[in-house]
Structures are given as C-alpha cells and as structure tokens.
Structure 1
Amino acid sequence: MIVNNQWQGTAWYQRALPWSDSWQDKIVLIRFEAAMKVADVWLNGKKIGHHKGGFLPFTLDLTDHLQPGDNTLLVKLDNRDNELIGPKPVSALDFNTYGGLYRSVSLVVKEPVHITDEQMVNKVAGGGVFVTYPAVDKAQSLVNITTHLHNRSAANKSVTVRQTLRFKDEVILSEEKRIIMSAGADRKLEQQLRVNQPRLWSPDHPHLYELETALLHNDELIERQSRKIGIREFVFNDSHQLLINGEQVFLRGVNRHQEYPHVGYALSPQADYRDAVRIKSAGFNYVRLSHYPHSPAFIKAADELGLVLLNAILGWQFYNPDPAFQAQVIETCRDLIRRDRNHPSVMAWECSLNESAMPEEFVAELDNTVKEEYPGALSAGWMHGYDIYLQARQHRLKHYEEPTQPYNVSEYGDWEYYAQNAGLNQDDWQGLKEEERTSRQLLGSGEKRLLQQATNIQEAHNDNLQTPAYADGYWVMFDYNRGYADDIEASGIMSLYRQPKYSYYFYQSQRSPDLRSAAYDSGPMVFIASDWQSNSNTDIRVYSNADEVALYLNDQLVERKIPQRNRLSSHLSHPPFTFSLAEFTPGTLRAEAFIDGQQVAQHKVVTPGEAERVTLAVDTAGVTIASESSDLIFVYAQLRDANGNPVYDNGIPISLTTTGNLELVNPELVVSERGQGAFLIKTFGEPDGATITVESPELGAASYTF
C-alpha cells in the first residue's frame, strides 16, 4: 500500500459527556495520549485547551466546566504542515505523520487531594510519580520515589503516602509517610526503598518490579497508582563502552517507524506490542524510536521484553530560528521525559532535531533541558554537545573523526547503498545493476535482490563493529510510506505487512544461542537463505548461531562445516555459512545446526512446484487478541504446491472475506508478493466463532475459525 499524499486539513470530534453524580466534589480530568498536530478543545461551547505537537499527551481540567445533565466535548485537530512545530512539509518528508486522535483518550476522576498529572502541572523534574535509582548494585540498590501531591480543597488534610514494592506478586518492601497538606497547596514527597539482592533489569534479563503508590486519608484509600519499574544503571567506561549494571553490553539495534498499512499510526496497544516481539525475535536488544515519540504500549513492551530504547523527539531535516519553534521543541523534550522517565528500557533522550543544522546554543539548551528534567540522565544527538554522539554510517564514510565520547551508529545499511557509494568490500559490487545494489528491496524482489540486501547489511554491521561504537541501529525494521516519494521505502528487514526478508534471519543469527525466552523467538537457529529454484544461486548461504552446520541435498550430505570469516564477516558474532554446489538439482535442501556436537536446530527448503492451493495463517506474534477493545492482526494467504511446499510467485490474485466481529481493513482483493497475500484485520472484542476465508481463482479457498 503506497501513501505519499496523506490527507491534511482540519478534523472535528464531538462526544457527549453525561453528568455523573460520582463526579460531585471531585476533580475531573481528560487526558489525550496523542492528537495530530494542533488541538483545540471546547466543553459546552467554552474553549478549555490548546495543544501543539502530535505525539505526546496533554491533560485538561474539566472540573469547573462540567454541568449537571448533558455536556458536550468538541475537539478540533489540524494536521497541516506547521513551521512552529516541524518537521519538513509532508511533501518533502521521508515519513508520514498522518492525523487524528490515534491513541487513547481517558477520563480521570480524582479526589481533591490527589497525585498530580505530570503533564498538566508542568513542574520541572516533578509532577506525578518519579522513580530514580541513585545506587545500583547486585548486593543492594536504592530506589527513590518522588510523589507530587496537590490539595485543591479549602481545608488542611492529613494524608499518608504508602509505597509498596512487589516482585512477582510478593511484597518485598513497603514504606509510608504521613504529612499535612495545607489547603490549596502542592508539594513533593521524597521516599526511599533499600532493596537487598535486587533482580536487576537488563536486555537479557528484564526483571520488573511492581511499585504501588497509595494515597490514604484517615486510613481510607483515595488513590492508587501501579507501575512496573526496573532497577538498572546505564554508564560508560573510560573507553566509552556501555555498562549496564556494571557489565559491558553491545547494543545491536534497529530503527523503527510506528506505521501500520492502511491505519497509519492508529495501532492498538497489542499491535504495538507485537512489533516489539518481532524486533526482539529478530535478535535485537536495542531500538531507536525514530524520529518522534512512539506509543506508551511499545515502550511498555520494551520494558517487559528487554529492549533498550533511544527515545526521540520529533525532528527531521528542519530547523526554524523563530523563538516560538525553539520553545515548542524544548517543551516537547520536557513532555517526552515526563511521560517516559519511569520506564527502565529508556537509556537516553534524543532531544535533538535529527539531521537538522541547530545552533550550538540551542543544542546546549536542549542538553540542559534533559539534565533539568531528569538529573543524571543521558542526552543524545547528531551534533556534538550531547552526552552521546549519534552518527549515521553514510556520514561517517564521508567525514569520520575518532570519537571522544560515547558513539552510536544511529543509522546504517540503507542510504549509503541507495546512494551507490558503499559496497566497499563486496567482490561482486561492480557487476550489479543499480537497482540490485540497494538495500531497498521489496518482499517480492526475488532471491538475488533479497540476498543483496542481506549482504549490504552484513557488510555494514561488520564495519560498525570495527569502530569504537557501543551500539548500532540498522535502518529500518519495517518498510514504510513517506511523503516525498511515490514508492514504499523498502529497506526494512520485514515488509510493511510484517513479513520477514532474508536479512531478518541474518540478524536473528547474531543473537546468543544461550538466550532463551517464552516471550519471543530465541535460542539456537538455522535458516537457508534460498528459494532453491532453477535460477537460484548455487552458493548456498545459511544463517545460524551454532558452531557447525551440515547441509544436505536430497538427503545426501553436501558438507558439514564451521563458519568461515572473511572481509564481510571478520567481526560478526556468528558469520554465515556458505556451501558451494556444482549445479542446481531440484529437491530438498536441509540444514542441521550443531552446538558442542549436538543438533539444536533444523531448516529445510524445497524446490516448489506449480501453485495448486492456498493456506491461511493468522499472525498474533504470541500476543493475545484484545478481548474488550478493538485490535489489529495480520493474516497471510500462502500459495502452496501439491505437496504443501511454499510457492514464491508474485501477482496471483487472492481475496478475503470475513464473518463475525471482524473487519477487513485493506481491499478485499490483493495480489501475492513472494507467494503471500497479506491482509490487515480489525477485531472487535473476542473473535470466537468469527471466520476468515481466503480464495484464489483456480487455487481454491481456505478458512480459519477463531
């Protein structure tokens, strides 16, 4: 699906809010998690709020504007290009920004004495609940909790704030303080928990505690907030290498755009979580949230799965010297930190306008804003002046300087090959056509070009590992739409519909075979990067994180070998295996992977025959479909031959119909790409009994019932 002319203009939302007697003498707030891009809000005809920026939450106080009976909430959104918000106009932008109220809107009712909303009160390093870790050690760690309270009543109130820390439902520690809140006053309350033998959070072992903050008056609970926290420490040693809880860790990562086909940014929380599962399953332990704040659901998933995050404000190749623009960027940085500061997965704050020429004094102000909002936090940016220096590989190839600070290869593997100035160590580079050299290869581009994408990625990642970088992030995880081009940006290791390309398995092979989890694909793996057809390369590339791989053709051993290092694999954790066959012989390729002499994984590829039928698969990435709200899932129709083997044909028409509480989001008829027809389905609560049916002329139909 190509979207290069996204709709822009004004949109209106209207919602009835019938008065509830339970609101009497309470504080009633409304929180918008995201509204693209300028929002104006009215209640009962009176304007009560204005907000700029389409990616972060804002909260409005409805209390004094509500009336008994019916209330009417009206929201106006304007997603047109705006020079006081940025970035570039969509028509010149390398991504889309879409529009609408694409995340949740919540009504929040509080007592007059309450824990504040961090976005609404606008307190530097304050508001709400703020958790930090002044001392982190395996023997004992300190957890500091700052709670911001407000008494909006006309009388002094005695309240107790109780902090309870649990691990897997077991109470570890509890601490409480009683204070007097003066009428109309607000204040911070500092509390500390001393945790012995803590379970520390790390990418491989993302241990999470539950912190419950309870507010009591006369021993009666009046407010309770619960959040998952992770005790961890990110620091750099003298060599600018990253230490997580004192142990050196290299972050092998990827950039992500949060777009889904057909719905833009309007993902369900479960859909966001599935993206995180796909990223972790691909072997990554780090994600750069490019180039704007991503959803809280994705960040929650990163906490739980073990993905380190570089959290970014909106910015791409645009700077405006207008003080109003600068103020907006500073405010965005503050709001981002206030929203996400308690998430253990967030390592650093990219309060930087990506690839934008910023004045040094503005860089200094952004860096200082990070330090104000989160004392001791790490800042990151593409210009010098931040704690972490971000540099794309295409920029390093042109003007590399030995880093004097922590160095992150923020992007690589795409632009330098698209611009045709890479391929530094590839023997076959000069013999390739321009369209074959690039890493921008659609799923249906064919074996040769998908292998070339994987080769480019391997070369670039191997090159990064020879620099002082503590992390690198491939561009990009998923194919995506952009405003300035009339095609899909196809450098993703998965398609826009989340289907893996060969390069996905290259990265998967770089993970440790010892890391195992039930939450995502992990452990030993092996993958044959071939369709094994008459036009296939007879030098068979196999990806594996095992010690040895044996390749069989039609049950005859071709060779059993260890990986061989060369110019493209000299620094990889697990170099690919290459097996050379004299000629193409149709049949079955089977790879068996061994660690310490024991077989640990197997994969086979069979020469396909003619497409004879179609099968159906539903992809939930192991995340349960939402039972009480709408959700989004991908469905794949797979072409198969008479023996059930996958067929890789492009252009075969496939249609899909549904029954029950399902809705087809994309057109009913699609054509296959690499033997698959991809569909996006919207669910409305539990889909029990609902049915999906796919059909292709001359290939028959297949159904799936939930």
Structure 2
Amino acid sequence: MKITSLIIGALILIIVFNCQSEPVKELGRQSLLFNDNWQFQLVKNDSLVPETLDFSEWKPVQLPHDWSIEGDISVDNLSGHFGGYYPGGIGFYQKTFEYDCNWKNRLISITFDGVYKDSEVWINGHYLGKRPNGYIGFTYDLTPYLKEGSNNIRLKADNSKQPNARWYTGSGIYRNVWLKIKDNISVIEDGTYINSNNITTSNANINIESTIGNINSKDASVHISLEVFDMDNHLVAEKTIQRVLSASDTIAIKEHLIIDNPRLWSPETPNLYSAVQKISQNGKVLDTYKTTFGIRNIRFDAETGFWLNGENIKIKGVNNHQDGGAVGAAVPDDVLRRRLEILKNMGCNAIRTAHNPFSPEFYQMCDEMGFMVMDEAFDEWIASWPWENYKNKGKVPFGYHLEFDKWANKDLKDLILRDRNHPSIIMWSVGNEIPDQCYPEGPKRLKPLLDLVHKLDPTRPVTAGCCFMHLANDTGFSNLLDVAGYNGGGGSVFYEKDKAIYPDRKFIATEIPHSFQTRGVYKTHTEMRSPQQGINVPNLTKEEVFPEFSEFYSSSYDNSSVRISARDSWRRTDSLPYVAGEFRWTGFDYLGEGIKGWPSRLWNFGILDLCGFPKDTYYFYKSQWTDDPMVHMLPHWTWPGKEGKIIPIWTYSNSDEVELFLNGKSLGVKSNAGKMNLSWDVPYVPGELKAIAKIKGEVVAEQVYKTSKSPVQIEILVDKDKLLADGLSCAHLEVNILDEDGNFVPYANNLLTFQVEGPAINLGLENGDPLDLSSNKINKRKVFNGKCLMILQTTKQPGNIKVKVSSPDLKSEEISILSLESVL
C-alpha cells in the first residue's frame, strides 16, 4: 500500500510540476467533440447516485448513444404502443479525462446537445444540476470544479417513467457532447444575434447584437472587430470598435453593417455568410466567435400566402420525428444528410420539427441544403383532453405537462437563442395540438410564450398546430397566433369557412394530410377514417383484389388516410392562394405511435419507410413539386395467381400525357391536365408493363415493370465507396432481391446474413416492416417486399471494409469500401 501511495503521489507531483512549468499556449476559443471514451450502465434502482454504482457493471460506449434501440421490443415494456414497445429505464454514463495545463485561467464548460431525459450531471462528485427536457441542449460551467490530473464526469438519464411521449424517444446521451474552452473575456454562449432588413438587389442592412462577458476582477479595455465573409470567403463588410468591460459584468453591443450586392438565401440558392467577431487586448486575441447566417426576406400575407425574397411560393413541407429508423434517436450526420437529400430530390422545401427541437446539426444542414424550417418547441402544455381516457393525465401520463409550469420559459428561451441565426428557420411553433387551446385558459397561457418569442426574435412569426380549430376559434386562441396553424384533426380543414369569418387571418397547414401506406402493399378497398367535406376516395374495385395483405399494413394507392387523401389535400392547398402551404404527416415512417397496437412497432404515415426507401406516394409529391420530367407506375407487375383479375394501374407524372403499354400493346393515352393521377383498369397478364410520359408529343420519361421469376440473386447498392476513418462516417447498403434475369422480386422475404470484415461496425439493419420485431443490431434480417438496408459506420482505423450478404438458395454478393485517413 505504501509503495502504491508513493507512486500515485509522485504522479501527482509530476502533473502539478508540468502544469506549473509548461508555458501556456494561446489557443483561443475551442469547441472539442467530447464523444469518445465514455462508459455506461443500466440500473434498476432510481435512487442510486454515482458513488453507489457497481464499478464492474460499466461498459464502453461511443456517443451519441441510444440504449432503447439496443433493447428488446416487448409487449411488456412500459412505453407501450406510444414508444413502439421499446424499453426505457435508468442509465448512468461516466468519463474520465485529463486536465490540460492550457486550461488554466480559462473558462471550461460542457454542452450536451440532447439527453433523454431527466438528466443529472456531476463533475468530480459535485452536483451540477438537472434538466428534465430531453430535446433541448444545456451547458454547465466546469471551471470551479476541475483539478489538475484526472477528472471524472458522470450523468444520469432517467427514462423509466413510461410513457412520457406519444412516439419513440430513445434513451440516454443521444446527441453530441462538447467541451468548450474560452477566455475570461469572451462572447457568451449563444450570445450573438444577426438579422437583416432593407434588403434590395444592391445592398442589405445587417444588424449584429452581441453580449460580451468579463469575469475578471478588473476592468478591461478591449478592441472588437467585426468581419463578414461570403461563401467564397471573400470579406464583404467590416467594422472595429473599442469598449471598456467592467469587472465581473457583461455588455451588449449593437452594430450595423451594409453588404453590397447580397446573395440571398432560398431553397434554390442557400447562400450563407459568416460573421467573425474578434476580441483583442493589447494586441492579443482573446476570443474569436463565428456565426453563420443568411440574408433573406420572409412575409406571410392574408390573401396571397407566403413570400420569400419577393417571390410568392408554396411551402411544400413534411413533418418529421427525430428518430433515424435503424439507429433510433442517435442519428449520425451521414444518416441525417441522406434522409434530407431524399426529401430534397422529391421537391420538398420545408420541414416541421415535430414536435420538439432537433439537433444543432439538423439546422446547419437545412441552412446548407435549402430547407425552410418550422421550429417547434412543445407537444403539450398543462391541460388534458376532455375525453375520459386522457382526463387529468396529459397526452401521456408522464409527459411534459408535468414540467411545463417550471421549465417552459427556460426551454423556449434556450431554443430561440440557440436557433435564431439560422436562415432556414422561417417560423416558430410554440405547440402542437395543445389541449389548452380548447379552454379559456389557453389564450392566457399562449400570450406569455408569444411575448417571449417576439422579444427574443421579432423577425419571425409564431404559430401553433391546432386541431379542433373551431374550439381554438371560440376561445380566441387561434386569433392570437401570427399565423394560424391548421392540423388535420377534429374539423380543422375548413379553410374556406374560416377565411370568410376571419378575412385577415394568415393560414398554414401545419399537419395535413395524414395518409397511410406500407411500401409494396396495395388494397383496392378504401380505408378512410373520418372523411370530411365529402372528400372521400371510393373503392377502386367492387371486390378486394389483394386480400392477402395484413390488416396492419396500409394501401399505397392513396386510398388509406385520415379525413383527406394526399391528392385532395394538395389540390386544396395549391388552389387556395391564402394557404401558405402544407406540412404533410409525415416524411418518414417513425418508431412508436403504433395505434393499431401490438405487434406494430411504428406507424406508417411516411412517404418513405424507416429505411428511407420511397413508397408510391413519394412519386405523387415528386410529380407535383418538381419540374424534371418523370413518370411512376403503381403497383408492380408480379402477381402470381391473379391472372385475369382487373388491377387498377395508376401513374403519377408531371408531363402533358401518359401512354400505358402491356406486352407492347397500347392501352391508351390519357391527358394529365388538371389531374393528380391517371388510372387504367388492366386484366393481369404476366409480362411487361410500360408507361411513357410525353410533353408536347415528345417522350420525356418512361418506366417499365417486368414480371419477375423466383428469387435467385442479391444486389447491393452502396451510396459511398470511400469513407473517412473517423468513427463517425457511414455508408448505406441497399439490398435488393433479383431473379435470374436481374428483375426485382417485389414479394421476396428471404432471410439474409451479413458478414462484415474490416474497420467498420453494423450500426443498424432495417427492412421497414412494421411487424418485424428483430433487433437492428444483429447481422441477420429478412428483406421486406424485396428490400432491406444496412448502415455501416467506420472505426478510427483505416483499411478495407468487406461486406458479404448471403441467404440459402440465393447467390451471395460482396462489396468493398475503403476507409481512409482522409477522403479527397
């Protein structure tokens, strides 16, 4: 024991000596990704504190981390259908890190971008605080509690009280963690706000507000420079000022700059600028703070809808939850970017963050890729729905209604301060289907939230997604909103009626339509819940042509929906100039909210499945939202046993006309003018089905389906053949089952085995089947209707990655991916 103590003492002396003797470097502001070398354990006792944990139970994890997606799906899990039957629980995380001598006399903080939920944090045994909200980031100052040598940070995440949301949330530290180091004189966290006005083609006024802090015990005279750069890193504006900062105080600085010939931000031209602030003292740079922003003008009009940079456009949007399918809530950047690219290719120009703040990386990508964003804060406030099964329970028993009174202002303020410089954000939403809207208390609770948002950001309007709009009208709730948000529920699609009563109202469809579809599934009998205004989809045939599909699966004919179909909803939105646009429910299928009950782990509202594979409705929106010529047919043309049966063939196209051919014989030309889709009733005969789209008589696009034979071979399509060996980069492997002629087999359900060799891990396997309860983390998965997806993630070792996919009775297939120290 004495020898051990002497060794430890000597090491401490060496560390102290090193920190005292080493010259301190001028590092400026640093933001270090702090995701490596964490340990984790699940516990059963909610009264445990870090000091009582069993050390032998720790296991290494890489952040971001979602322990729910790693667990077993079970009908006994308390999350129930809301959470997709995934497990919750209580988890502890810890990380030991070494003190850096260059941190002396500097401010050290830690930022967690998202922890679900009820997080508590300790540093070296000192309790830093608690944050109930699982969706908004938070920062703690570590400076007073750090010591030279080893430091230990621990975090508890409590997701044991279930259900606490109406969808899958994930559990744990599921977003990035950052260690931030800066000088005692510096811009405070989220301390810069940039907006623009008086925008013309020749110039734009840029307003920059900053809060700078000085925690030193002495006053300081500082030099502050402001420089603005365009996307090509050209200096386009600059200014310098001198200020005296009082000891232990902050000052607010407001400056105005003019940018000549501004390059405006829009979905088509997502031009970005960066403002760089430098604080210097006696020639030494103390802090450099960079803020990315865009220049654009937004306006909602009661008669003409939405205007961007002087152009009247429709918002073509989707709602999304934050989960990434196979990876749960811990979504790598590459996975998120692929999902956004798929939406962009469909013509989508806007996303509503349903129903909570998303990760910082999401908004950065929307800035760069050109998505407009409705940034939403809450799914509930305090009140409950009047129905007996919800009464006095909130939307779910352990939801945010339990935290609203204490935390709503803090959570909303942090959201606005974090996100208000993003040009992608065009409006704020303070709630979704808030039951309070139906009661007299609703407007009273809404007003302070509106005032807070307007104070922090007077440049953007505020909305809320309202169902039961007639009740929100009666209470005056909807009239307080800058833009009235119409959800599809409870009679909230009566735009014309409300327009007549409230002529000065500004309209946006925040959540409509709600249409169901399961990829590769078709039913010719309509399943419509609560059809309204006589807008219904008739049965496509007298007798159901596809009785073989499970009741848990939904038809892809756009004849399975709530209140209104996708086609009818967009027809109305597009034809009413005062409706600014719509956010359909949803872009992607999402885990949880499986209202049909066990064993469905998801609800298939998405126009893309959990894998990101398009369903047929994806091509409907592509035909309406894009100009590049296209045509899409549904359903496929492989229906053994249905010879002679009449199958409705639909096409979606943005062309003038479409001609359909079966085995080389024309089945007629139909005009697309004024149509959302075209339809032919075709007796099933195996062979080739072809659709040809024409504009002004010229063929501009075509699609061919060939009746497939039995499954024979495996096809692997990979989105990247080179990756960065950084432990973060991902590749997506789309796996298809083909017949001997290379035709896709749309009914295949083969069980595949994936063998991964080299410096990569299986981050998740998924097939999009709502009823497949297999783990995403094992190397086996059935294909669903011919397809499945593997997501690979690199380690930090470079090398060759090989993936072999095999199945009994199928010819196996291999692919190779290079993982490099740097990717050109």
Q: Same fold (TM over 0.5)?
A: yes
Tell me the matched-pair count.
664
**Residue 271 (structure 1) aligned with residue 271 (structure 2):** no
Q: Which moved more, 1:204-213 or 1:19-28?
A: 204-213
Residues 409 and 653 of structure 1, relative CA distance in 2, 3 Å threshold: same
Q: What secondary structure does 1:673 align onto?
A: coil
Cross-structure match for 2:743: 645
| Structure 1 residues 53-104: Cα deviation after superposition (integer angstroms, max 9, x where no partner) | 11111111111111111111111121244xxxxxxx527x431222111111
**Residue 211 (structure 1) aligned with residue 316 (structure 2):** no
Question: Aligned partners of 1:25 and 1:266: how far apart in 2?
Answer: 35
Q: Which moved more, 1:482-491 or 1:227-236?
A: 482-491
| Contact 2:558 2:566 survives alignment (8 Å) | no
**Residue 95 (structure 1) aligned with residue 167 (structure 2):** yes
Question: Aligned partners of 1:193 and 1:685: how far apart in 2?
Answer: 44
1:690-705 matches, cutoff 5 A: 690-705=801-816
Residues 476 and 626 of structure 1, relative CA distance in 2, 3 Å threshold: farther
**Equivalent residue in structure 1 for 2:462, among 361, 379, 386:** 379
Q: What secondary structure does 1:608 align onto?
A: coil
1:130-529 matches, cutoff 5 A: 130-167=193-230, 168-239=232-303, 241-316=305-380, 319=383, 325-358=404-437, 359-381=442-464, 382=466, 383-384=477-478, 385-396=480-491, 401-403=497-499, 404=502, 405-414=505-514, 419-421=529-531, 424-428=535-539, 442=553, 449-450=556-557, 452-453=559-560, 456-467=565-576, 468-482=578-592, 485-486=597-598, 487=600, 488-513=602-627, 523-529=628-634
Residues 602 and 627 of structure 1, relative CA distance in 2, 3 Å threshold: farther
1:613-632 matches, cutoff 5 A: 613-619=713-719, 625=723, 627-632=725-730
| Structure 1 residues 292-338: Cα deviation after superposition (integer angstroms, max 9, x where no partner) | 11111121111112111111113148637989622312222111111
| Contact 2:279 2:288 survives alignment (8 Å) | yes
Residues 244 and 599 of structure 1, relative CA distance in 2, 3 Å threshold: same
> What residue identity is the alignment partner of 2:298?
F
Question: Aligned partners of 1:285 and 1:699: how far apart in 2?
Answer: 41
Question: Aligned partners of 1:439 and 1:409: how far apart in 2?
Answer: 32
Question: Aligned partners of 2:414 and 2:702: how far apart in 1?
Answer: 48
| Structure 1 residues 618-643: Cα deviation after superposition (integer angstroms, max 9, x where no partner) | 246x9x85542324544222110111
Residues 299 and 433 of structure 1, relative CA distance in 2, 3 Å threshold: farther
| Structure 1 residues 651-682: Cα deviation after superposition (integer angstroms, max 9, x where no partner) | 32112110112222323222221111333333
| Contact 2:726 2:794 survives alignment (8 Å) | no
1:509-658 matches, cutoff 5 A: 509-513=623-627, 523-534=628-639, 535=642, 538-565=647-674, 569=675, 575-579=676-680, 581=682, 583-596=683-696, 598-619=698-719, 625=723, 627-658=725-756
Task: Indicate the RMSD between aligned Cα atoms, in angstroms.
Answer: 3.0
**Residue 673 (structure 1) aligned with residue 784 (structure 2):** yes
| Contact 2:648 2:681 survives alignment (8 Å) | yes
| Contact 1:272 1:295 survives alignment (8 Å) | no
Question: Aligned partners of 1:439 and 1:525: how far apart in 2?
Answer: 31
| Contact 1:418 1:439 survives alignment (8 Å) | no
Gaps of 5+ in 1: 82-88, 119-127, 514-522, 570-574
Deviation of residue 169 (structure 1)?
A: 2.0
> What residue identity is the alignment partner of 2:498?
E
Residues 261 and 626 of structure 1, relative CA distance in 2, 3 Å threshold: farther
TM-score by length of 2: 0.75
Cross-structure match for 1:122: none
Residues 236 and 4 of structure 1, relative CA distance in 2, 3 Å threshold: closer
| Contact 2:486 2:493 survives alignment (8 Å) | no
> What residue identity is the alignment partner of 2:677?
P
| Contact 2:120 2:131 survives alignment (8 Å) | yes
Gaps of 5+ in 2: 1-68, 74-82, 385-391, 393-400, 467-476, 517-526, 765-775, 818-824
> What residue identity is the alignment partner of 2:655?
A
**Equivalent residue in structure 1 for 2:151, among 71, 95, 105:** 71
Residues 537 and 129 of structure 1, relative CA distance in 2, 3 Å threshold: farther
Deviation of residue 238 (structure 1)?
A: 4.2
Residues 176 and 594 of structure 1, relative CA distance in 2, 3 Å threshold: farther
Question: Aligned partners of 1:238 and 1:187: how far apart in 2?
Answer: 40
| Contact 1:319 1:353 survives alignment (8 Å) | no
> What residue identity is the alignment partner of 2:559?
Q
| Contact 1:158 1:179 survives alignment (8 Å) | yes
Deviation of residue 650 (structure 1)?
A: 4.1
Cross-structure match for 1:57: 137
**Equivalent residue in structure 2 for 1:45, among 106, 121, 125:** 125
> What residue identity is the alignment partner of 1:387?
D
Question: Aligned partners of 2:288 and 2:646: how far apart in 1?
Answer: 61
> What residue identity is the alignment partner of 1:303?
D
| Contact 1:315 1:353 survives alignment (8 Å) | yes
**Residue 106 (structure 1) aligned with residue 178 (structure 2):** yes
Question: Aligned partners of 2:276 and 2:183: how far apart in 1?
Answer: 18
Higher-Rg member (1/2): 2
**Equivalent residue in structure 2 for 1:27, among 92, 96, 107:** 107
| Contact 2:185 2:287 survives alignment (8 Å) | no
Cross-structure match for 2:34: none
Cross-structure match for 2:772: none
| Contact 2:638 2:746 survives alignment (8 Å) | no
Question: Aligned partners of 2:106 and 2:234: how far apart in 1?
Answer: 33
| Structure 1 residues 216-239: Cα deviation after superposition (integer angstroms, max 9, x where no partner) | 233333322333311012112341
Deviation of residue 194 (structure 1)?
A: 0.9
Deviation of residue 347 (structure 1)?
A: 0.8
> What residue identity is the alignment partner of 1:220?
K
Residues 440 and 496 of structure 1, relative CA distance in 2, 3 Å threshold: farther
Residues 675 and 464 of structure 1, relative CA distance in 2, 3 Å threshold: same
Deviation of residue 452 (structure 1)?
A: 3.4
Question: Aligned partners of 1:295 and 1:223: how far apart in 2?
Answer: 25
Q: What secondary structure does 1:252 align onto?
A: strand
Q: What secondary structure does 1:689 align onto?
A: strand
Q: What secondary structure does 1:329 align onto?
A: helix
Question: Aligned partners of 2:799 and 2:581: how far apart in 1?
Answer: 44
| Contact 1:651 1:673 survives alignment (8 Å) | yes
Question: Aligned partners of 2:493 and 2:329: how far apart in 1?
Answer: 34
Q: What secondary structure does 2:709 align onto?
A: coil
> What residue identity is the alignment partner of 2:187?
I
| Contact 2:510 2:583 survives alignment (8 Å) | yes
Deviation of residue 425 (structure 1)?
A: 4.1
> What residue identity is the alignment partner of 2:588?
F
| Structure 1 residues 28-70: Cα deviation after superposition (integer angstroms, max 9, x where no partner) | 1111111111121111111122222111111111111111111
Residues 169 and 550 of structure 1, relative CA distance in 2, 3 Å threshold: farther
Question: Aligned partners of 2:543 and 2:315: how far apart in 1?
Answer: 32
Q: What secondary structure does 1:465 align onto?
A: helix
Deviation of residue 117 (structure 1)?
A: 0.7
> What residue identity is the alignment partner of 1:26?
R
> What residue identity is the alignment partner of 1:90?
P
> What residue identity is the alignment partner of 2:624?
Q
Residues 61 and 251 of structure 1, relative CA distance in 2, 3 Å threshold: same
Question: Aligned partners of 1:29 and 1:267: how far apart in 2?
Answer: 24
Residues 646 and 249 of structure 1, relative CA distance in 2, 3 Å threshold: same
Q: Which moved more, 1:598-607 or 1:332-341?
A: 598-607
